[in-house]
Every structure is written in structure tokens, then in C-alpha cells.
């Protein structure tokens, strides 16, 4: 059995270490994060750091890398106070991957990478037309991480744009039929496959499968 210690991790070649640590926890959510600046110029970037924080109020967190000159995402969220998360479909994953390139500040990845902006009344930030599950969020809190310079952005869900057939009777989103992709590490993309859904766990009771899985 391989046993890698912290001192070994510290001396690893940079790109090897990045790939190892990024892929270690397995599959992660994959989203396109849409923002807009005060001049109306949109921005789109691929992220795999979104996580659930609570349902009442409905909160999601996103980890944003340290702010750089060409990093418009954090700057736009600060100024506009709104942003979107949009799922990635199999026919669009290459274009989504391209949004992670370091384009100059003020350049919209929507047009360059082939995505269309979708705006709705009363919401500033653009959604992605080519997505099937779209989430509109309003900024609630910034948490600056001193240990590595990243920022956790906490947002409240105020808009959900999707097909009503993708939301089950119990509220569960059917990401298989939505075509939602996932990612491991920085560049390994996967298509989801349903295995099962299990009943609410209770002490002393064997897990019971619920059908269908979605």
C-alpha cells in the first residue's frame, strides 16, 4: 500500500502535486460561473468548487482563486452582487474547458468559447443558454482564506431556471436526464450514471433502495 507523507507532498514536482491534490477527493461538481461588470461586459469561467451550505436560507459556497489582474470573476461578483452557476452538458465540455484559459481582463468568454448569454428581468448576471440547470445567486458573504489567499464566496439562491420535468416529486434534481457532467482533478470529465437512491437512514434499519433512482 502506498503511503504518501506530507513532507513528500511538499517536494513533489509542481504540476504533479496540483493534479494529485485536485483529483484526490474524486468527482466534483462542474459549473460555468457567469458574471457581468458595471460596463455590461460578461465573464464566464469553469469551476469545480461549488458546495452546499444549507437549504434555509438556500446557500451555496464557491471557492475562488486569489485575485489576479485578469481575474474578472471575483471583481464582478463584488461590484454586481449577483452571479450564476450553470451545469455543463456533454456536447459543450470542450468549450467549457476553454473558458478556463487566461483571457485578458474585459474579454467575454461567452462569445470566444461559443456560449450564449441568457438574461432574465430583475437579475444582472448572465445565465448560460446551453445549460439545463441554471442557478442565480446573490452575494451574502466573503470569507478570505489567509492560509492560501483564496476566497469563499457565499451566495443565496434567488433564481432557478430548469425544465420542471427535471425536478422530482420530492424535489430531487434529475442530473442524469439533465445531462450534467462532472470532473475529477482539473481536466478529466465524466458523465453521470444513476446507481440507486436510498431511503432516509435510521439506526438499526437496513438501507432500502428507492425506485426509480432519479
Residue 149 to residue 43: CA distance in whole angstroms: 22
Set of cell numbers at residue 11:
517536494
169 DSSP β-pair partners: none
Nearest C-alpha neighbor of 126 from the set 44, 34, 41, 40: 34
For CA atoms 159, 164, 166, 170, the dihedral sign is: positive
H-type alpha helices, 62-192 = 72-80, 93-98, 109-113, 175-178
pLDDT over 80 (residue 214) = no
In sequence order, what DSSP letters do the residues of 85-115 get, joined into one string? EEE--GGGHHHHHHTTS-PPTT--HHHHHT-
User: pLDDT tens, 70-90?
Assistant: 679 999 999 999 999 999 999
Q: Identify whether 126 is part of a domain.
A: yes
Contact between 36 and 43 (Cβ < 8 Å): yes
Report how many domains make up the chain: 1
Q: Identify whether 104 is part of a domain.
A: yes
Nearest C-alpha neighbor of 93 from the set 193, 191, 194: 191
pLDDT for the residue 67: 66
pLDDT for the residue 210: 85
Average pLDDT of the residues in 138-159? 96
Q: What CATH number should be reported for the domain holding residue 95?
A: 2.30.110.10
pTM, to two decimals: 0.93
pLDDT over 90 (residue 1) = yes
Banded pLDDT at 16 (limits 50, 70, 90): very high
pLDDT over 90 (residue 212) = no
Nearest C-alpha neighbor of 32 from the set 75, 83, 81: 83
Domain that holds residue 28: 18-210
Average pLDDT in the chain: 94
Rg for the chain (alpha carbons), in Å? 19
Residue 149 to residue 68: CA distance in whole angstroms: 11
User: pLDDT tens, 151-180?
Assistant: 999 999 999 999 999 999 899 999 999 999
User: pLDDT tens, 181-211?
Assistant: 999 999 999 998 889 889 999 999 999 998 6
Average pLDDT of the residues in 137-142? 98
Q: Identify whether 137 is part of a domain.
A: yes
Instruction: Report the percent of the chain where pLDDT is more than 90.
Output: 86
Q: Identify whether 49 is part of a domain.
A: yes
Q: Identify whether 7 is part of a domain.
A: no
pLDDT over 70 (residue 63) = yes
Q: Identify whether 2 is part of a domain.
A: no
Q: Identify whether 52 is part of a domain.
A: yes
Q: Residue 155 contacts by C-beta under 8 Å, 6 or more apart in sequence?
A: 59, 60, 61, 62, 83, 137, 138, 139, 140
Q: Identify whether 186 is part of a domain.
A: yes
Amino acid at each position: 500500500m502506498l503511503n504518501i507523507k506530507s513532507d513528500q507532498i511538499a517536494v513533489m514536482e509542481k504540476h504533479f502535486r496540483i493534479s494529485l491534490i485536485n483529483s484526490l477527493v474524486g468527482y466534483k461538481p462542474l459549473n460555468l460561473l457567469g458574471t457581468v461588470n458595471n460596463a455590461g461586459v460578461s465573464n464566464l469561467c469553469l469551476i469545480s468548487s461549488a458546495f452546499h451550505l444549507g437549504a434555509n436560507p438556500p446557500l451555496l459556497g464557491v471557492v475562488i482563486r486569489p485575485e489576479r489582474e485578469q481575474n474578472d470573476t471575483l471583481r464582478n461578483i463584488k461590484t454586481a452582487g449577483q452571479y450564476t452557476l450553470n451545469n455543463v452538458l456533454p456536447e459543450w465540455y470542450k468549450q467549457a474547458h476553454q473558458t478556463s484559459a487566461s483571457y485578458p481582463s474585459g474579454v467575454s468568454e461567452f462569445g470566444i468559447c461559443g456560449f450564449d448569454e441568457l438574461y432574465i428581468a430583475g437579475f444582472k448576471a448572465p445565465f448560460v443558454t446551453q445549460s439545463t440547470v441554471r442557478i442565480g445567486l446573490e452575494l451574502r458573504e466573503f470569507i478570505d482564506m489567509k492560509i492560501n489567499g483564496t476566497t469563499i464566496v457565499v451566495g443565496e439562491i434567488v433564481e432557478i431556471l430548469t425544465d420542471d420535468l427535471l425536478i422530482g416529486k420530492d424535489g430531487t434534481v434529475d442530473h442524469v436526464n439533465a445531462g450534467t457532467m462532472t470532473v475529477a482533478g482539473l481536466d478529466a470529465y465524466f458523465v453521470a450514471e444513476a446507481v440507486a437512491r436510498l431511503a432516509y437512514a435510521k439506526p438499526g434499519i437496513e438501507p432500502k433502495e428507492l425506485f426509480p433512482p432519479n
